[in-house]
Structure 1
Amino acid sequence: MSKAKKKPAKRKVIRLDNEQRRAELLAMGQAAFAKKPYDEVSIDDLAAKAKISKGLFYYYFPTKRDLYIAGLRETSRGLTKTLTSVPRDLPPRDRATAAVDAYLDSVAKLGPAFIALMRGAIGSDPRVSEVVEAVRRGIADEFFASPVGRLLESKPLSRVAIRGWIGMVEAASIEWLADRNVARDGVRELLVDQLFSVLTGVVGSGGLAKLEAGRKR
């Protein structure tokens, strides 16, 4: 008698709770959007990779755009968290250097995800604008929460100056990502120097000298 054929072992299915599953799908989406243009990312492919039905995928993210926006929000939270981790009681120039360093570290890790965040890769969408604005507002608020920032906030021009500098930081970071022949330390020093140049226009050279006194510990 021939031996009965063994039944193939059933593949073990790992069941995740809702939060775990959503986090997994979000991470997959972020990775996909970092590698491909928005239009080339397929929900079918992502669902297959996650070993779930397309319908279940849409339970967590009703549309591809919802997935994309959620990824941008996660990116923005990471950037803001990076900046808020820098101690506020450091001397002004030391704190600015540490903050720009931390920002560039995050930008380097995010790569295409950062560019997608700042350029709004899927065109004009109010939700994308809200996410980008939240990042810019978070950076400005963090600056004005420092001892120096609190002193400067009484001057109406200060917020205009800082928001303008933030725009420069974004543009310089994108250019640096595109051309890594530019030294990272050079980008950092440029941005820090430009911050203090901008502040000169707000407080004058005498006021800046007082801020610069924080260079030496």
Structure 2
Amino acid sequence: MSEPRRRLSPDDRRNELLALGAEVFGQRPYDDVRIDEIAERAGVSRALMYHYFPDKRAFFAAVVRAESERLFEATNTPPRPGQSLFDQLREGVLAYLRYDEENPYGAWATYVGMGRHDPVLRGIEDVDNERQANRVLARIRAAAGVELDSKVERDLRIRVYGWLAFTFEMCRQHVLEPSIDVDQVAEACAHALLDVIRRLPGIPADFAERTVVDGPTRRLGA
């Protein structure tokens, strides 16, 4: 039975539909979800549903985009004065894992969405990866304390994109198997990027030395 329809602003109604979509797509395969079902559960007419989203593909893309925006904001962990790069990376990954734990359906809908080959969904992933890469690169530059050579910047960006894919999969595995220790995941991801930085040809030698972290809980010095 549908819920009684409530008066909401257009933005609030759209956000409500997106939240409901994340819940539904996060529990069932895309092909099993009907747009009419979403409208019924939200207590709106089919016509109103199509007013906001022309078809199921557009609705799913909007759900993935909204969840990606929420995740991007959730992983915005500004560095504290004197905080090491290791700790910054670790906190960012922990924020990612917390978001997944607090929004399991939305997180899974995003994982499913990013695994599809639809060009619209691929475009959402590309935008999100670029924003995340720029955020990580800014932290690395600040930690290096010197201007990096343009070739080093290029090669570093490529490796950061690869690291994002690695981190994405590590966090997805935690959704699949919640018993995996979040601290181990976060530290493994942080260590992985520091190792990539240290091995990058052309990286300043003093910065490379400062990326060495002894043991799983030792912190990279400022």
Is TM-score (shorter-chain normalized) higher than 0.5? Answer: yes
| Cα pair 2:90 2:186 within 8 Å, conserved | yes
Tell me the amino acid that sits aligned with residue 201 of structure 1.
R
Structure 1 partner of 2:191? 193
CA separation of 1:69 and 1:51: change in aligned 2, threshold 3 A: same
Bigger-Rg structure (1/2): 1
Whole-Å separation in 1 of the counterparts to 2:34 and 2:136: 40
Whole-Å separation in 1 of the counterparts to 2:93 and 2:28: 28
Whole-Å separation in 2 of the counterparts to 1:152 and 1:111: 40
| Cα pair 1:172 1:187 within 8 Å, conserved | yes
Whole-Å separation in 1 of the counterparts to 2:5 and 2:161: 50
Alignment of 1:44-193 (within 5 A): 44-87=36-79, 89=81, 90-120=83-113, 123-146=116-139, 147-148=142-143, 151=146, 153-154=148-149, 155=152, 156-193=154-191
CA separation of 1:145 and 1:175: change in aligned 2, threshold 3 A: same
Whole-Å separation in 2 of the counterparts to 1:150 and 1:186: 28
Whole-Å separation in 1 of the counterparts to 2:46 and 2:77: 39
| Worse overlay, 141-150 or 160-169 | 141-150
CA separation of 1:59 and 1:150: change in aligned 2, threshold 3 A: farther
CA deviation after TM superposition for structure 1 residue 128, in Å:
0.4
Tell me the amino acid that sits aligned with residue 113 of structure 1.
G
Structure 2 partner of 1:21? 13
Q: Structure 1 length normalisation: TM-score?
A: 0.83
Aligned residue-pair number? 207
Structure 2 partner of 1:209? 209
Q: Structure 2 length normalisation: TM-score?
A: 0.81
CA deviation after TM superposition for structure 1 residue 73, in Å:
0.6
Whole-Å separation in 2 of the counterparts to 1:75 and 1:185: 24
SS at structure 1 position matched to 2:54: coil
CA separation of 1:55 and 1:120: change in aligned 2, threshold 3 A: same
What do residues 72-128 of structure 1 show as CA deviations (whole Å, max 9, x unaligned)?
111111121123233275321121121111121113333353344244378421110
The share of aligned pairs that are identical, in percent, is 25
